[in-house]
Chain A
Amino acid sequence: MAAFFRLRIVRDLGIALIVVFGVGSIAMLLAHVSPFDGFYALFDGAFGTTSEFAETLVSATALLFPALGVALAFRAGLFNIGAEGQLVLGGLAAGVIGVFVPGPPVVSIVATLLAGAIAGGFWGGIAGFLKSRFGANEVIATLMLNVVAALLATYAVDGPLHFATANEGETPLLAKTAWLPTIVPDTRLTISIVIALLLALALRFVFNRTIFGFELRAAGEAPEAARRAGVDLRSIALQAMTYSGAIAGLGGATLVTGVLHRFNTGLSPGYGFVAIAVALVGNLEPIWIAVAAFAFGILQNGALSMQAEANVPRDIVNVIEGLVIIALAGRRYIASRRTT
């Protein structure tokens, strides 16, 4: 069983690598760039210097949070494609609370992160509530809530929550006491990566060693059997969506307290969507998701220097990520066929 799991991961990673290098090479040839130069620029930009490598880890961390959230919901058979909106609102809450709660570093950091998790959890919980109370399809609900979240954030920072000291579209800079401490000096790499990895370990424990983790999986893979065995599917749906949103919201909060030090409506360049690819490549297993997040972090960050150094538009990375999602869209069905 364990060996089989590993094989599938190896196969999925193989598919992802083929897409990355295959499509990447074609795109570079189209842009009249030799794939060797293009990928050299990409990897050089991701690993070349300490600060570039730190930036790669920053991207990986930004992806890891929402990917873990997405994986939690996916495990329960719920397609939370609303990580983007949950992340944005988590960031908004963190940005606002961070301004209001000065005080000793630990207090204000904990308050901002908690605010992010609560806001994200609330937003995910709406979809969970609509699902469990009315049977509303969570995919469409989270899709709609993504847009509403973005509009809400724009309205809030320019309207009722607008601060005189802030520019349009953002909250004021947080007090230094609310900034996450950096790990590597003079970079944006903060302890958020440690938080993310600890969270991955914790989720691994929850998924594999707790009753809740078992119920999540049962609800996802064999809902009818789970229901007959006494699992409250409605309650699981609400909980899974809430926790999933809280994790994504926490990720948004770490972007605010650790990277930008303020909320900005452009906080996320689609981390919540790329997170779906990360979660699928990681096979919904927290540790593998961390590995996948690192790989996608390389892509995200390396793409910037690929564009600057080799003149390959970085948007090709989105094409690659989307194709990886499509290529792995069959994964869940393989899983459910295996278990039923």
Chain B
Amino acid sequence: MNGFVIALIAIVGLTLVKATPLIFAALGGVLSERSGVVNIGLEGIMIGGAFTAVCVSGATGSPWLGAIAGILAGALLAALLAFVATKLAYDQIVAGTGLNIVALGAAAFGLVLVFGQPGASREVPAFGQAGETVLTVLALVLAAALSLFLNRTPWGLRVRACGENPRAAAAAGIDPLRTRFWAVVTGGAIASLGGVFLSLAELDLYSDGMTAGRGFIALAAVIFGRWTPFGATGAALFFGFFSALQYTLQRAGIPSELMQALPYLAALVALAGLAGRVRAPASDGIPYVAEALRPRSGQARPEGSR
């Protein structure tokens, strides 16, 4: 019995560690998408946060400054996406795909430039175990805060209005472009904390590919969690749980690839509406172009797409 309790605590702890970066990224995705901008670039934003945090922590010796720099880097990358997605009305999905490629390449390039070696950085001052706990608690608190923000504050209402019907929002005096811009930038800052967690709390270095598709899993969590902060957090915990079980189940003969594929398969099932109806914000992914300037802006998707 005692052994069982210890094993249980170990699994819960590992679940939280595995889920925390996913929660941060997914919350960033929720905020962005509720304002009407699909953020495919979450993976790239996490990479930017993780890499910059390590660089600055290594240069200054302070993981705190590293974390702040990581958040700024994430916000900056998100601002690039936000700018082309709002002001320029570019296609968000194509731009987000580009952002991921840019961030991955830039981090690999920067690794050689800053640390003089490809593959991985040297070890830098990091937060360690205590930081893991603090960031995990912060992730859960942020989920509650974001939920309150979206559902109980006038600003949250504005964000949601821009995601559902930006034209109506504009008629009510809200500036959809500005609202979306700041939602994406703030979302990027939150998502980059997931990268900071990986590089300065779980580990103390940056290595190429360390985000390992977590930005995409977070995207899956957003959908599986039906675009709500608590839903996305729940999905992230669910995916984190299977990630934590991976090693145990692998020993039981279940291929680890299947466990790794699980979040993606779950998202596909959710997308297909097989796990109950899912509905994205109505104007998610559709650039807003002011009525008077350019009549009849292009619709991003055919009707009925999610």
Contacts and interface: CB of A to CB of B under 8 A. Distances in A.
B258 A27 contact: no
Contacts of A27: 109
Interface string B245-262: 000000000010110110
A139 B222 CA distance: 14
Interface string B285-306: 0010000001011110111111
B105 A318 contact: yes
A223 B97 CA distance: 24
Contacts of A31: 112-113
A322 B156 CA distance: 32
A280 interface: yes
Interface in A233-268: 233
A81 interface: yes
B283 interface: no
B94 A337 contact: no
Contact of A340 (B80, B95, B258, B298): B298
Interface stretch (B124-132, B197-205, B230-238, B267-275): B267-275
A79 B108 contact: no
A134 interface: yes
A318 B107 CA distance: 10
Given A136-B272, A136-B306, A329-B90, A148 B98 contact: no
B273 A136 contact: yes
B106 interface: yes
Nearest to A220: B302
Contacts of A270: 101
Count class of interface residues, chain B: 35 or more
Interface string B53-81: 00000000000000000000000000010
B94 A332 contact: yes
Contacts of B257: 151-152, 154-155
A330 B93 contact: no
A326 B80 contact: yes
B223 interface: yes
B109 A143 contact: no
A9 interface: no
B90 A159 contact: no
A141 interface: yes
Contact of A147 (B213, B258, B287, B305): B213
Interface stretch (A105-113, A203-211, A309-317): A309-317
A324 B102 CA distance: 10
Interface in A61-101: 77, 79, 81
B192 interface: no
B304 A135 contact: yes
Contacts of A131: 305
B176 to A, nearest CB: 16
Interface residues of A, number: 59
A322 B272 contact: no
A316 B111 CA distance: 11
B102 A143 contact: no
B99 A326 contact: yes
Contacts of A154: 257
Task: Summarize A's interface: helix, strand, loop or mixed.
Answer: helix
A202 interface: no
A140 interface: yes
A30 B113 CA distance: 8
Interface string A293-331: 000000000000000000001011111111111101110
A156 to B, nearest CB: 9
Contacts of B191: none
A329 B113 contact: no
A88 to B, nearest CB: 13
Given A31-B113, A148-B264, A317-B105, A79 B94 contact: yes
25 contacts: A31-B113, A134-B272, A134-B274, A138-B305, A139-B38, A140-B223, A147-B213, A147-B261, A151-B257, A155-B257, A159-B255, A276-B97, A315-B109, A318-B106, A319-B106, A322-B102, A325-B101, A326-B84, A326-B94, A326-B98, A329-B84, A329-B91, A329-B92, A332-B94, A332-B298
6 closest cross-chain pairs (CB), A and B: A318-B105, A325-B98, A322-B101, A336-B298, A322-B102, A315-B108
Interface of A: 27, 30-31, 77, 79, 81, 130-131, 133-141, 143-145, 147-148, 151-152, 154-155, 159, 219, 223-224, 233, 270, 273-274, 276-277, 280, 313, 315-326, 328-330, 332-333, 335-337, 340
Given A130-B268, A318-B108, 20 more contacts: A136-B273, A140-B267, A141-B268, A144-B220, A145-B264, A147-B216, A151-B261, A155-B258, A316-B109, A318-B105, A318-B106, A320-B105, A322-B98, A323-B98, A325-B97, A326-B84, A329-B98, A333-B89, A333-B287, A337-B297
Interface of B: 38, 40, 80, 84, 88-95, 97-106, 108-109, 112-113, 118, 213, 216, 219-220, 223, 255, 257-258, 260-261, 264-265, 267-268, 271-274, 280, 287, 294, 296-299, 301-306
